[in-house]
A = this chain, B = another copy of it.
Amino acid sequence: MPVFTESAASTRELRVLPSFAPPLPRLNAPFSQQNQPDRYEVVVVGAGPAGLMLNLLLARYGLSDESLLCVDAKPGTLKSGQADGLQPRTLEVFKTLGLADEILTDGCHMEEVAFWNPSANAEEVIERTAIVPDVAVPARYRHEVTIHQGRIERILETDLLRYSSRGIQRNSRLVHVAIDEAADAEFPVVAELETNGQRRTVRSKYLVGADGAHSVVRRCMGLQLVGESLDHIWGVVDLVVDTDFPDIRRRCAIHSPAGSVMVIPRERIATGDYLTRLYVQVPEDAVPEDGVNEDVQKPVDEAAAKMDARARRSKVTLESIFQHAADAFQPYYIKPRKGGAVDWWAAYQIGQRVSDRFTVKDSKGIERVFIVGDACHTHSPKAGQGMNVSMMDSYNLAWKLAYVINGLTPTISPIPDPILATYHSERHTIAKQLIEFDRAFSSMFSGKIGSADDGVTGLTHDQFLQVFSTGNGFTSGCGIEYPASLIVQQHQEQQSHQTSDTTVSTAATSTTLPLTPASANPIYGTDYLNGILRPGRRLLNVTYKRHADGNRRNLHDDIPSTGRFRLLVLTSTDLLDPTGISATTLRALGSAVLPKYPASVIEQIVIHPRLAREFFTWRDTPDELKQYSEMRFYSGYELEDVYGVYGVDPAQGAMAVVRPDGYVGTVAALGDVWRVDGFLGGCLVRV
């Protein structure tokens, strides 16, 4: 191509960099440390998955290194973490952060679970009784991924360094934290840190303890872990195995006469070998080898039992774990492939505990200190929940904190920060469910299948399978539902827009809505797990085809984790009628609702059902549609029946507000812009 003349703008060179997440607008005055040394808006203690996730999100939302400090007691970036599993919902979140690719490419996909139980054929000892999908609920990724926790942390930290020049401040231990409003009411949280032996005091508006099961923050704040420890002892080992067991690359629940084993296939490592994780039940000393159930023999005195368990725990060795595994795998052999094949091993007792409070308020009722992750809840690892629930704590908290700090939320008396208050109500609910699920699942798993006198549950294989499958909504992270609150508006509350303290000013526009406000729930169906729109639940991904360019896209790619609210408008079939309810609603939203809120904080996604005419152009739709949604306007019937998935009648349409974390906040009838505006007005200041 013999170009003879060309001219390039300097901006063009910027096109070569990776995309950055756009920061949130800040309505409060910019923060600077200039006159207030060692004062931060947020201090995060701990840089495990929960702390890193929180720090990364806050940095992406626009908090600078002057505003945000994250400390960690350990010297380096590499962690010998125990977790290895990412649930479908966590994968969805990583995808919306643009961080899923390495995990999906290099991690081990667990797509199937095999169940092995005692065989009627004595020679076989055990037999495969079922293979079922590992994830039974709709999700963007219908599988789990296993991969080293340290790798997740490294991925988060690498991305953090694109937004923060300091990154994590290492070798920095939290010594003490307290709330002291007397000296400085704006920065009431006082943290004493020790960095490389040097002590210093930092003050902050907010402090988050992501400092693990032995949280100093939790202890200093006087929060209590409530719960109990059970006495089942398990060994866990990561290794490269040599075995003739047929399902070694599937997740397996093996209930053998000699004990229980769970197989977790893991990622391929640099040698080209594949790791396997084994959870191996260590039989109780008190249980005779003939298989009489251990629980029958359990001492009545719980305290004595715990002392006893502790003594037995100390006897667990790697060799004993292998021996128990070998017994349970009979007639198949299993052993470490060769010297050095063992990565890591540990022994533990199952215990479930949860903190009574996740937040601490100052004297004015403002939430000042938060705990996330293992600092809030501890439980057994076998359901693969820990790292996931921990990161999701941070994912829930981060946008709320950023909105308050940036001055984007309105204050509604008498609660100073009503949105921040939902962190405890939402995540404590989930933590309690987690603990309950884990208690049931662990007990079941430690029990024996097919032994009629099993004191724990008398569980049959079918019952176990049933619990496994029904628990999938919870364990996948896709079925959780946050309780009603300011930011989860259930329709049955019949909140009346007439009594709302927010109103739509239609005077500013020539559009007059011919609609009588309708507060009836526009959604039909109750199968929320399969996508029916439901406030408090995450919006299920769908695929749809874009009007502007015919691209086939995933809805989740239109709700990236950039801290924005999304207004989802599913028009009715009358879209091409300029006086119809669809066009009228789009004009009202574009002229009277969206302009009221801070620029760029609400993104509108519009979907249409099959219309009378297949081909139409922007000429045939309201100008406001192209203005706000040129690249977010889709047909919802060509690739997938979006209306059916979400429970929306194409003849009626519907609207939904989706929170920055991807959970539905409210649904409204098409035309009910009052409800939408009322909900948004509770979450966002108007400008």
Contacts and interface: CB of A to CB of B under 8 A. Distances in A.
Interface string A335-361: 000001011111111010000000000
B98 A11 contact: no
A274 to B, nearest CB: 7
Contact of A318 (B7, B267, B344, B351): B7
Interface stretch (A106-114, A410-418, A650-658): A106-114
Interface stretch (A115-123, A244-252, A536-544): A244-252
A82 B5 CA distance: 12
A11 B341 CA distance: 9
A102 interface: yes
A131 B13 CA distance: 33
B112 A8 contact: no
Interface stretch (A41-49, A146-154, A581-589): A146-154
- By size class, the interface of chain A is 35 or more
A244 B238 CA distance: 60
Interface in A128-180: 131, 143, 148, 150-151, 153-154
B250 A549 contact: yes
Contacts of A379: 1
Contacts of A148: 12, 15-16
B316 A11 contact: no
A35 interface: no
Nearest to A78: B13
Interface in A212-248: 213, 229, 238, 244, 246, 248
Contacts of A249: 546, 548-549, 630-631
B244 A618 contact: yes
A350 to B, nearest CB: 8
Contacts of A510: none
B111 A551 contact: yes
A316 B3 CA distance: 12
Contacts of A12: 80, 148, 150, 238, 343-344
A22 B153 CA distance: 24
Contact of A8 (B2, B14, B80, B246): B80
Nearest to A548: B249
A442 B335 CA distance: 65
Interface in A447-502: none
Interface in A254-286: 265, 267-270, 272, 274
A534 interface: no
Nearest 3 CB-CB pairings of A with B = A6-B346, A112-B550, A101-B101
